Chain A
Amino acid sequence: MPVEIDIDHVAKLARLDLTAEEKERLRAQLGLILEYAAKVGEAAGADVPPSAYAIPRANVLRPDEPVPSLSREEVLANAPEREADRFKVPPIAEVG
Chain B
Amino acid sequence: MAELCDLTAADLASKLRAGETSSTEVTESCLARVEAVDERVRAFLARTTELARERAAAADARIAAGDAPSTAGIPIALKDVLSTKDITTTCGSKILESYVPPFDCTPWARLAAAGSVLLGKTNCDEFAMGSSNENSAFGPVHNPWGLDTVPGGSSGGSAAAVAAGEAVWALGTDTGGSVRQPASLCGVVGLKPTYGLISRYGLIAFASSLDTVGTFTRSVRDAAILLSAIAGSDPMDATSLDRTVDDYAEGLDEGVSGLRVGVVKEAFGEGVQPGVRSSIQSALNRLSDMGASIEEASLPHADYALSAYYLIAPSEASSNLARYDGVRYGLRVPGRDSIEMMARTRGAGFGPEVKRRIMLGTYALSAGYYEAYYGQAQKVRTLIIRDYEKAFESFDVLVSPTSPTTAFRIGERADDPLAMYLSDVFTIPANLAGVPAVSIPSGLDEAGLPVGLQVTAPVLGEALVLRVAHALERELAFDAVPPLVAGLAA
Contacting pair B372 A38 (CB below 8 A): yes
Contacting pair A51 B359 (CB below 8 A): no
B383 contacts A by Cβ under 8 Å: yes
Contacting pair A54 B381 (CB below 8 A): yes
CA distance A13 to B304 in the complex (A): 28
Task: Determine the main DSSP class of A at the interface with B.
Answer: loop
Which residue, of A15, A55, A78, A90, has the highest number of chain B Cβ atoms within 10 A?
A: A15
- Residue-wise, chain B 375-404 has the 8 Å CB interface mask toward A (1 for contact) of 111111111010000000000000000000
Contacting pair A14 B362 (CB below 8 A): yes
CA distance A54 to B175 in the complex (A): 13
Contacting pair B382 A18 (CB below 8 A): no
**Which residues of chain B are within 8 angstroms of A19 by Cβ–Cβ distance?**
347
**Which residues of chain B are within 8 angstroms of A84 by Cβ–Cβ distance?**
none
Assuming the contacts A10-B366, A38-B373, A40-B377, asked whether A33 and B360 have C-beta atoms less than 8 A apart, the reply is yes
Contacting pair A40 B307 (CB below 8 A): yes
* Residues of B in contact with A, size category: 35 or more
Contacting pair A87 B373 (CB below 8 A): no
**Which residues of chain A are within 8 angstroms of B356 by Cβ–Cβ distance?**
26, 29-30, 33
**Which residues of chain B are within 8 angstroms of A94 by Cβ–Cβ distance?**
337, 339
Contacting pair A55 B459 (CB below 8 A): yes
CA distance A79 to B356 in the complex (A): 27
**Which residues of chain A are within 8 angstroms of B327 by Cβ–Cβ distance?**
79-80, 87, 89
CA distance A32 to B310 in the complex (A): 12
Distance (whole angstroms) from the CB of A9 to the closest CB of chain B: 8
Picked from B238, B239, B359, B376, the residue with its CB within 8 Å of the CB of A44 is: B376
- Residue of B whose beta carbon sits closest to that of A12: B343
Assuming the contacts A40-B308, A89-B341, asked whether A52 and B378 have C-beta atoms less than 8 A apart, the reply is yes
Contacting pair A40 B311 (CB below 8 A): yes
**Which residues of chain A are within 8 angstroms of B432 by Cβ–Cβ distance?**
54
A41 contacts B by Cβ under 8 Å: yes
A16 contacts B by Cβ under 8 Å: yes
Distance (whole angstroms) from the CB of A28 to the closest CB of chain B: 11
Distance (whole angstroms) from the CB of B340 to the closest CB of chain A: 8
Contacting pair B343 A15 (CB below 8 A): yes
CA distance A28 to B161 in the complex (A): 36
Picked from A30, A40, A80, the residue with its CB within 8 Å of the CB of B380 is: A40
CA distance A25 to B459 in the complex (A): 40
**Which residues of chain A are within 8 angstroms of B303 by Cβ–Cβ distance?**
39
CA distance A81 to B338 in the complex (A): 13
CA distance A30 to B338 in the complex (A): 28
Contacting pair A92 B337 (CB below 8 A): yes
Assuming the contacts A49-B382, A54-B434, asked whether A37 and B337 have C-beta atoms less than 8 A apart, the reply is no
Picked from B239, B330, B360, B381, the residue with its CB within 8 Å of the CB of A57 is: B239
Contacting pair B434 A60 (CB below 8 A): no
- Residue of B whose beta carbon sits closest to that of A6: B363
Contacting pair B433 A16 (CB below 8 A): no
Picked from B99, B102, B360, B380, the residue with its CB within 8 Å of the CB of A34 is: B360
**7 A-B contact pairs sorted by A residue (CB < 8 Å):** A15-B339, A29-B356, A37-B311, A37-B377, A90-B337, A90-B340, A93-B337
Further 18 A-B residue pairs, CB within 8 A, beyond A40-B380, A54-B381, A95-B340: A17-B348, A29-B417, A30-B360, A33-B418, A36-B307, A36-B418, A37-B308, A37-B373, A39-B303, A40-B311, A51-B385, A52-B209, A55-B434, A57-B239, A60-B239, A77-B102, A89-B341, A94-B339
